[in-house]
Amino acid sequence: MPHPSPISGNQSVRESNRDLEIESIDFFVRMMSMLGMPRSVGEIYGLLYFSTTPLPMDQIVSRLGISLGSASQGLKTLRSLKAVRTSYVPGDRRDHYLAETEFRRLFANFIKEEIMPHMESAKERIERMEDSLSGTDEQTDEFYQIRIEKLKKLTRAGGRLLPALAGLLKF
């Protein structure tokens, strides 16, 4: 018996193309990890992305072979990124999860929620730099002033371009 895969639930094979699912999980695990997200988050999204039906948490757990805790945490993260949403399934009291597949929206949200707050605190830190310019030595102060100016331009550019970027993406 080759590959006693941890991914093997009671879902019928008709419902899911296993190879595709595995490629998808792989794909999103990598993509998410580029964005600094843990493995489990990528796995869950990857599974849901190619799922024809919304999946309840325990299905996610058994198909991916991860713990309930991980699944709960991961789904919480994905919900906060608006990368998944729940859908009501009549006669079942479990939450069923569905992947949000509009990457443009996902991207816009990611920039707003994860990047922009850092830009804000960066601006504050730059202000503090200006405050701490000694003012004793003109020569070196000018050097520092130039460096600070570059940082300002950087954050300004970032603050404008990143949000614009999401709108630009026509995919």
* Contacting residues toward a copy of itself, per CB under 8 A: 14-15, 17, 19-20, 23-24, 26-27, 30-31, 34, 36, 49-50, 52, 101, 103, 115, 118, 121-122, 125-126, 128-129, 132-134, 137, 140, 143-144, 147, 150-151, 153-154, 156-157, 161, 165, 168-171
- Alpha-carbon distance 140 to 135, whole Å? 9
Region from 30-38, 106-114, 125-133, 156-164 binding DNA, contact rule CB under 7 A? 30-38
Count the site residues for DNA by CB under 7 A: 24
Contact status: 66 vs DNA (CB under 7 A): yes
Strand residues in 72-159 grouped as ranges (E):
84-87, 96-99
Are residues 41 and 97 in contact, defined by beta-carbon separation less than 8 angstroms?
Answer: no
Strands 55-56 and 84-87: unpaired
Applying CB under 7 A, among 5, 8, 17, 67 the residue interacting with DNA is 67
First-to-final CA distance of the chain = 42
Scan for tokens 């102060």, then name that residue.
141
- Among 112, 60, 63, 53, smallest CA distance to 87 is for 53
DSSP 3-state assignment of 56? strand
Applying CB under 7 A, among 7, 22, 53, 57 the residue interacting with DNA is 57
Pick from a copy of itself, DNA, none: which does 95 bind, CB < 5 to 8 A by kind?
DNA
Contact status: 114 vs DNA (CB under 7 A): no
Residue with Cβ nearer DNA (38 or 159): 38
Q: What is the 3-state secondary structure (H, E, C) of 8-32?
A: CCCCCHHHCCHHHHHHHHHHHHHHH
Residue with Cβ nearer a copy of itself (68 or 115): 115
Binding site for DNA (CB under 7 A): 36-41, 56-58, 65-70, 72-76, 92-95
